[in-house]
Amino acid sequence: MGNQKDRLLRGTALNGKVRAFAVRTTDLVEELRQRHDTFPVVTAALGRTVSAAAMMGAMLKGDERLSIQVRGDGPIGLIAAESNANGEVRGYVKNPHVELTNIRPGKMDVAAAVGTTGHIDVIKDFGLKEPYRGSVPIISGELAEDFTYYFAVSEQTNSAVSLGVLVSPDYSVANAGGFIIQLLPGVTEDEIKELELALSKIPPITEMLEEGLELEDILKRVVSDVTILEEMDVYFSCDCSHERVERALISLGQEELEQMIEEDGKAEVSCHFCNEKYRFDKEQLKSVLERAKS
Ligand SMILES: [Zn+2]
C-alpha cells in the first residue's frame, strides 16, 4: 500500500511469555519474481518461504546465517531461501514456470505446486564447525502449517505461523508478508485459548496488508499487549561476485577446466540465487586454469 516499505518487527507480549514477528516482503517477493520470472503459484510458494526465512533470520544474532530448503514432490521442485539477522534475504526455485489452475479467483493451490510429501530442511550456520540442521516432513504443502510443524517438532516451540502472497492480475506482487507468534515456557492454558480465539478471528495476512494495516496493528490483533523490541528493513541481497564464481570454477579442477577451454573457449555461469550471469572468455579461463594448477 502506498508508501509502505518492506520491514520486519520483533516483539514480545504477555510478560515475555510470547514472542512475535511480523514482516512485509512485498518488494522483496516482487524482486524475486522479476529476477527468476516466477509464475503466480511459484511466486506465492517462494514468497511464503522467503517471508518465513526473513522472520527466522530475525531470530539469529550477529553473523549467523539461515538456509531453508523445501523439497516437495510437486512440480516446483526445490525451493531455497537464505537469510541473516540483518534482514538480507535471497531465494530461488528449481522450476519457476509452473502453471496451475486457481482453486477460486485469487486463491492459488500452493500445496499442489509444492507437493504434499517431502521434507523441509533448516540449516543454521552459527559460525561453528558443524551447522545446526533440522528436518521435518512436509505435512501440508501450504507452507505456513509446515513451518508451524517445524517449530513444534524441531525447535520444541509451539507457534502460529501465517504466510501470504497476493498476486495481481498482471502477475506482479500486490503484497506479501507474514507473522509468527511463539509460545514460551510459562504461558497458561487460558492465555493459549485467548490467543487461539484471536487467531481464529483475524483475516488472512494478505487481506490485512491490502487494507493498509501496519505490522504493529496486525500483531496487536493477535496479542493486544505486544511491545515492539526491534524494527528493521528487509531486502533482497545476494553476495555472489565474479571472484566467488572464479573460486567455484577453480574447484572444478584442472581436467574439467582444460576441457572447457578446448571445447567451448568460454564459460557462462549464473548465480542460482539472483540469476546474475558471469562470463569468462578464453583468456580468463586460462588464468583460472593456472590458479587451479597452483
Ligand atoms: Zn547471486
pLDDT digits (tens, 9 = 90+) for 142-166: 999 999 999 999 999 999 999 999 9
Q: Please, which pLDDT band fits residue 2 given cuts at 50, 70 and 90?
A: very low
Å from CA of 158 to ligand 1 middle? 34
Reply yes or no on whether the pLDDT at 134 is more than 90: yes
Reply yes or no on whether the pLDDT at 104 is more than 90: no
What gap in Å lies between CA 58 and CA 65, rounded to an integer?
A: 10
Mean pLDDT, range 207-224, rounded to an integer = 95
Å from CA of 14 to ligand 1 middle? 41
pLDDT in tens, 218-248: 999 999 999 999 999 999 999 999 999 999 9
Å from CA of 165 to ligand 1 middle? 23
Å from CA of 36 to ligand 1 middle? 12
Å from CA of 37 to ligand 1 middle? 15
Mean pLDDT, range 179-185, rounded to an integer = 97
pLDDT of residue 255: 93
pLDDT of residue 209: 96
Å from CA of 226 to ligand 1 middle? 37
What gap in Å lies between CA 289 and CA 267, rounded to an integer?
A: 13
Which is it for strands 267-270 and 277-280: parallel, antiparallel or unpaired? antiparallel
Which residues of 108-249 form beta strands (DSSP E)? 118-125, 132-137, 159-167, 173-183, 227-233, 235-236
Reply yes or no on whether the pLDDT at 208 is more than 70: yes
Å from CA of 244 to ligand 1 middle? 10
Å from CA of 79 to ligand 1 middle? 16
Given the C-alpha cell 564459460, which residue does it identify? 267
Mean pLDDT, range 256-285, rounded to an integer = 93
Cell numbers linked to 58? 530475525
Average pLDDT over all residues of the chain: 94
Å from CA of 238 to ligand 1 middle? 5
Å from CA of 83 to ligand 1 middle? 13
Query: Which domains occur in the chain, in start order?
Result: 7-236 (3.55.30.10), 242-293 (3.90.1280.10)
Å from CA of 248 to ligand 1 middle? 13
Å from CA of 243 to ligand 1 middle? 12
CA-derived radius of gyration, the chain:
21
Neighbours of ion ligand 1 (CB under 5 A): 238, 240, 271, 273-274, 276
Model-wide pTM > 0.75 = yes
Identity (one letter) of the amino acid at 221? R
pLDDT of residue 25: 98
Q: Please, which pLDDT band fits residue 105 given cuts at 50, 70 and 90?
A: low
Q: Please, which pLDDT band fits residue 33 given cuts at 50, 70 and 90?
A: very high
Identity (one letter) of the amino acid at 2? G
Reply yes or no on whether the pLDDT at 1 is more than 60: no
pLDDT of residue 103: 65
Å from CA of 64 to ligand 1 middle? 19
